[in-house]
Chain A
Amino acid sequence: MISLAGRDIRHEWGKYVFTGIGLGLLIGVTLTMAGVYRGMVDDGKALLDNSGAELWVVQKETLGPYAEPSSLNDDAYRSILAVQGVAQAANVTYLTMQVRSAERDVRAMVVGIASGEAGTPGWPPYLVAGRQITRSHYEAVADVASGFALGDRVRIRRNFYTVVGLTRRMVSSGGDPMVFIPLKDAQEAQFLKDNDAVLQSRRRTSENPAFNRAGVPGLLDAVITSQSRNPYVNAVLVRLRPGYASDDVAESIERWQRLTVYTRPEMEGILIGKLIATSAKQIGMFLVILAIVSAAIVAFIIYTMTLGKIREIAVLKLIGTRNRTIASMIMQQALGLGLIGFAVGKIAASFWAPFFPKYVLLIPGDTIAGFFAVVVICMLASLIAIRAALRVDPADAIGG
């Protein structure tokens, strides 16, 4: 038996292919939306992977440092180092801000990393160009997505930093590229105000009789000094000694240091389950709407094509064609449209994904799921047309 659907498609291939391309662009958008979500999840995982930490010690009862503000004293790491099972502990600060280079502003996550050497928690694990930070001040390592180049001078708050190294896939959960600077500089950047504000603050403090007592020399200077430095960090990143379970060490730190500690799975849960949950729902809604629109388009096109062949269908039925042959013809056409659309959509998504400002991750699993979704949608969409075709009375082929 010949393929009626194949012949019909071949007969009207122009209409069919152009409709498939239109549908394909819609499917491409759908695949891209899924890729945006995967990119967000991957960014979050990359953030955790690249931190090099196994535990995140944060301010008690906060979801810091990525999902909520967290602040703990910068000497807390010393006592954490003393906890059994801890191999390395390093302070880290995170601050999302505009970083300026020449006339350009780049939204970036500025990461303050503790002094040490490559491999210290918080440090970029690898570089694609240049070197790691070796000086205590005014050097930076930037992610290539920032657009900065080696030797560029970037401004963070009041200070300029020289880009000495470039890294890759070091992004915040929001997809902003990271710029690593020395911890002391980062603490200052978080806290440091402009000169006018500093003067105003000092004047206000000196006019406060509680701090400026005639009988207590040195009090005012001590207060002003304490006000002009930032002794806080956002988190302490911890790496464990071999053979220690992260849950056990986390429990020890929480019990003895009165801090909150997250393990890797917990932190992943916070990032994916809380930080990007709303975005995921948003994207999920888009996917549902796009799926419905795709189904509606396929249904409409196939229904219209079927209505255009009502007389031929009546003749086919009159001359003895089985209903299932006619239903199969319509379903095959819907599936053919879906396959063309899927192929076009996959190619389109792969083509335009690199141009998106945020990371779009097209994974084979989503492609396969998308393929089966398209198949199911096309099959469902063809049901309306099949119903219309099966209701055609073969008597309609006979006049009168």
Chain B
Amino acid sequence: MKREVPVAISALVGLVLLIDYFFKIPSIRTMATEIQDWGLIIAAFALALAAVNLLRIHVSRIGKWNRNSIHSFILVAAMLITVFSGIVLGRQSKPFDFIFQAIFNPLASAFYAMTAFHLASASYRAFRAKNAQAAALLIAGVLLMLGRAPIGEAMWSRFPKIADWIMGVVNLAGSRGILISTAVGMVGVSLRVLTGIDRSHLGGGAE
């Protein structure tokens, strides 16, 4: 029963949503809407559960104080201040706006921007044309960068056309192939889940 009930629920939910997508039957539509509404509630609970779990782990790390616990302390303090300013003071309040605009926004942007430095270093040390495939990748990359940046166009007006050709012909053919094969694979996996052959989503691996 421990396995059969979840498999039956998965199959029922999947079938209702599939029938609704293709046939638009009013009674099925009502059921499908309810199921999707439950999905939203479960997702929201999962998010809340993740927040509580994060708090639990880091509070326990602060309890066993060592030289790394300061990071946990900063995380817990930042989390509580943000939650307090958002829930108690309100999402339109100045402190909440300040936290987002003056702290979170620049920090997240700076964190992402650091990848540019890794990219610059990697382009110098790792992008080597060691074989034909690597050479093709490098040449395509360089042509795309020149075609997409105004400086390339200023150097030679045909660079954007070459970049468009790479994107519209070479990339499109590859992307389409990957897309179609992924879709076929997804249909297969979905059928296995719906029929209960694949039970890996229940946590016990495929059976």
Query: Do these two chains interact?
Result: no
Q: Which residues of B contact A (CB under 8 A)?
A: none
Q: Which residues of A contact B (CB under 8 A)?
A: none
